[in-house]
Structure 1
Amino acid sequence: MNADAAGPSAVAVQEALRAIADPADAIHLQRFFKTGPGEYGDGDVFIGVRVPATRGVAKRFAALPLDEIDRLLDSTVHEDRFAGLVILNARFAAVSKPRTFDDAARATVVDLYLAAVRRGRVNNWDLVDVSAENIIGPWLLDRPRELLFHLAQADSMWERRVALLSSFAFIKAGDASTTLALCAGLLDDGRDLIQKALGWMLREVGKRIDRALLTGFLDQHAAVMGRTALSYATEHLEPAVRACYRAR
């Protein structure tokens, strides 16, 4: 059956993805995204569709209804969830444009996304990274940001990463305040994927806004930062400066 002819449904998206799936790629992706017992992606299922191809399928189904997107996000297959998030990003962007701005529709997308996050469906680093800064970040640009601090205290590592990555939208808008506060609160988080995200966001503060904001944070916190976060945060500093911070 032709996936496009089946209409805008989650099943049609899934059929389109499976038509281009590669079992050899599935094996590679299972390893790359750490799906073994006890690993961060424990139990996740891949069918073997690379990101550019998944994005191509998602583009074909841009008109997918929200309830069908939600069905994709509840799939046990990783590529289904990734495609659902890409479609959801596009939906949020479409109702955020000046000529089509619809704040009620934006709120509906945000609520759907947060529900998926909280029921554990945005549950790998690529899923978080492709969506948080494109949905939650823009939504909160001109709103109070307590939501991110609640997410940063959640038991789920993925919710904490959503908090950090959402703040990337603020960095791109020239505002480092929320990122710095979130990073300060997560310095003791021992999960590697949180440490990487923390260091990454700090590095972006220094690159995109003001290096002095980064070095000021490091002057205060470098001595207690984990090696991974510190390595990421100092990556673009001069070798001598980087060595000085990493020696603390």
Structure 2
Amino acid sequence: MSETHTIIEELKSFATEEKRLFLPYFFKTGKGQYGEGDVFLGVTVPYTRKVAKAHKDTSMDTISGLLASEYHEARLCALLIMVRMFAKGDEETRQRVFDFYLGNTARINNWDLVDLSAPYIVGKYLLDKPRDILYELSESNLLWDNRIAIVSTLAFIRNNDLDDTYALAQKLMTHKHDLIHKATGWMLREAGKRDPRILYDFIDSRHTTIPRTMLRYAIEKFSQEERKYLMRKE
């Protein structure tokens, strides 16, 4: 029995019928929805983390097998192992994980998979490197590439490095999907915690063009009076 199969069987042991029925609804797997066709075992994130931790020293072949799985939780488990591998690895290992991650973004195909991995692999790898790849991802036709681009900047924000968050937000303002608007608004809000004035000025000068969902997420931490002013439509 391969380790990939073993890990999937371990994940199945933590599955519940209640979650198996609920998660496809929560992650929008219906026809035409962003998660169309995704398959869930019914395992919650804490249990997926538990399995990932138990197999933290697995091989890249096993990770590749998990990431190729039809099961959402298997792909998440692969990503959580990669996050740990990246955090504990030397520079060669970190580059290998980073390259593998970007070579498999089509399998990182739901918002939780992106959000639990991109800042900790892509963002951290690029902390001291050029960020051109994020701008390429922001222009990709793949929704998840676009989300990886903006969510990766959380690592920069935590390092008080805000420029790329605002630059990517500017690019993504014309995006058509609410998932990107939400993620971009989230990152803007996080950047605003570091310097509220920069965020306020960014929003104020674009308040008529910024998507409403992005705007609402971005200004959540402002006062009611400030939010009302920034939401004005004239």
**Shorter-chain TM-score range:** over 0.9
The structure 2 residue matched to 1:204, chosen from 168, 172, 190, is 190
Match of 1:99 in 2: none
> What SS does the aligned partner of 2:75 have?
helix
Scaled by the length of structure 2, what TM-score is found? 0.97
Amino acid across the alignment from 1:38: G
Q: Which residue in 2 is equivalent to 1:113?
A: 101
Give the drift of 1:18: 1.0
**Structure 2 Cα separation of the partners of residues 171 and 19 of structure 1:** 38
SS of equivalent to 1:43: coil
Which residue of structure 1 aligns with residue 59 of structure 2?
Answer: 65
Amino acid at match of 2:21: I
Q: CA deviation at 1:202?
A: 0.5
2:17 matches 1:29 = no
Q: Which runs of 5+ in 1 are unaligned?
A: 1-5, 96-101
Q: Which moved more, 1:235-244 or 1:102-111?
A: 102-111
Q: Cα offset for 1:176?
A: 0.4
**What corresponds to 1:242 in structure 2?**
227
Equivalent of 2:215 in 230, 234, 242: 230
Q: Deviations over 1:125-163 (max 9, x none)?
A: 000000000000010000000000000000011000000
Contact 2:189 2:220 in 1 (8 A): yes
What percent of counterpart residues are identical?
42
Q: Which digits, 9 at most, give the CA deviation of each residue in 1:90-127, with x for residues without a partner?
A: 000001xxxxxx2111110011111110xx10000000
Who is 1:87 aligned against? 81
Determine the C-alpha separation between the residues in 2 that align with 1:156 and 1:222.
27
Q: What is the Cα-based RMSD across aligned positions, in Å?
A: 1.0
Secondary structure (helix, strand or coil) at the match of 2:87 reads helix
Q: Map of 1:208-223 to 2, 5 A cutoff?
A: 209-223=194-208
Provide the rounded CA distance (Å) in 1 between the counterparts of 2:80 and 2:16: 21
Give the structure-1-normalised TM-score: 0.92
Q: Per-residue deviation at 1:221?
A: 1.4
Spell out the pairing of 1:134-173 with structure 2 (5 A cutoff).
Answer: 134-173=120-159
Q: 1:52 aligns with which of 29, 46, 49?
A: 46
Aligned amino acid, residue 212 of structure 2: R
Using the alignment, how far apart are the partners of 1:206 and 1:21 within structure 2? 39
Show the counterpart of 1:98.
none
> How many residues are aligned here?
233
* Amino acid in structure 1 at the alignment position of 2:16: D
Q: What amino acid does structure 2 have at the position aligned with 1:65?
A: S
What's the offset of the Cα at 1:23? 2.1
Structure 2: 5+ residue runs without aligned partners?
A: none
Q: Structure 1 counterpart of 2:136, which letter? A: H
Cα distance per residue 1:56-110 (max 9 Å; x no partner) = 1111110111111011011110000001100000000001xxxxxx211111001
Shift of 1:182: 0.2
